[in-house]
């Protein structure tokens, strides 16, 4: 993914401001920033729910300026809160995972081939959600639903996973278990988050996003400093750990 000077305007306000960012296939990178800094806007841009301003800058994904979301989803497994909300509650878990092969939500027609059903079952095992395969999606807890979405993202064996705040609404133990699952997938991880504890040691590179602009971009250990985090969150922050991280806010 290559963005050069990309600007996105939402409702008359600049949500991403001349952002230049290149992410290579298979790279493990976290995009970290406070509420409202433009993280979800970036995910929606990649997923073609939003478009950049056409009058300047350029964006290429999979080597192309115009990409097809279905093709993109073959390369990239996407997990977002929006996706979780879009799956119809009465959809069976297995259907929700199989539907991921075509980037569809909940309803599948001829794509439930034996191969795809087997791949969906294997992905449910990898995401530690095999026991949920007979349930309906709307009856799952947040943690269970998140695991099913990870299975959905893994089923078609993409090169990388794009995850928007994957542990949101999960309790401490479920969040930890989910991050362990992600570590084991061996996929490239593009993690978009404001949770420091989601920045696991596998993440090699961190991009700090502040008010729609890139504040810092580089190797995790160089970027994840108390000084940078204090600047990012406009508060005196003492960073602890070496991935995953925690932080103390000094008052």
- Where along the sequence are the contacts to ligand ATP (CB under 6 A)? 10-11, 13, 15, 33, 35-41, 194
Is 13 exposed, middle or buried (CB count within 10 Å of its CB: 0-12, 13-18, 19+)? exposed
- Nearer residue to ligand ATP within complex by CB, 40 or 181: 40
CA dist 105 and 80 (Å) reads 13
- CB 9 to ligand ATP: min, Å: 9
- CB 42 to ligand ATP: min, Å: 7
Query: Is residue 3 within 8 Å of 57, Cβ to Cβ?
Result: yes
- CB 23 to ligand ATP: min, Å: 17
Entry field: residues in the chain = 251
Q: Which tokens hold the place of 47?
A: 């997923």
Residue 71: phi and psi, rounded to 5, are -65, -40
- Nearer residue to ligand ATP within complex by CB, 96 or 170: 170
- Nearer residue to ligand ATP within complex by CB, 15 or 93: 15
CA dist 132 and 124 (Å) reads 8
- Nearer residue to ligand ATP within complex by CB, 15 or 247: 15
- Nearer residue to ligand ATP within complex by CB, 122 or 215: 215
Query: Is residue 245 within 8 Å of 239, Cβ to Cβ?
Result: yes
- CB 22 to ligand ATP: min, Å: 20
- CB 12 to ligand ATP: min, Å: 8
């Amino acid at each position: 993914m290559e963005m050069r000077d990309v600007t996105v305007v939402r409702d008359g306000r600049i949500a991403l401001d001349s952002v230049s960012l290149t992410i290579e296939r298979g790279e493990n990178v976290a995009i970290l920033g406070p509420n409202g800094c433009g993280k979800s806007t970036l995910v929606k841009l990649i997923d073609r729910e939003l478009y950049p301003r056409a009058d300047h800058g350029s964006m290429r994904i999979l080597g192309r300026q115009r990409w097809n979301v279905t093709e993109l989803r073959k390369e990239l497994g996407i997990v977002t809160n929006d996706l979780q909300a879009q799956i119809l509650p009465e959809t069976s878990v297995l259907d929700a995972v199989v539907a991921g092969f075509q980037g569809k939500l909940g309803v599948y027609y001829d794509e439930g081939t034996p191969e795809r059903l087997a791949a969906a079952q294997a992905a449910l095992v990898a995401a530690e959600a095999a026991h949920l395969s007979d349930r309906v999606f709307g009856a799952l807890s947040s943690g269970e639903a998140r695991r099913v979405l990870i299975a959905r993202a893994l089923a078609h064996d993409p090169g990388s996973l794009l995850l928007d705040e994957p542990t949101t609404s999960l309790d401490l133990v479920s969040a930890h278990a989910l991050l362990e699952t992600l570590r084991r997938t061996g996929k490239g991880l593009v993690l978009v988050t404001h949770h420091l504890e989601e920045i696991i040691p596998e993440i090699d590179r961190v991009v700090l996003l502040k008010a729609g602009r890139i504040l810092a971009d580089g190797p995790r250990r160089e970027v994840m400093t108390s000084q940078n985090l204090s600047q990012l969150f406009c508060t005196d922050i003492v960073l602890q750990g070496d991935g995953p991280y925690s932080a103390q806010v000094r008052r």
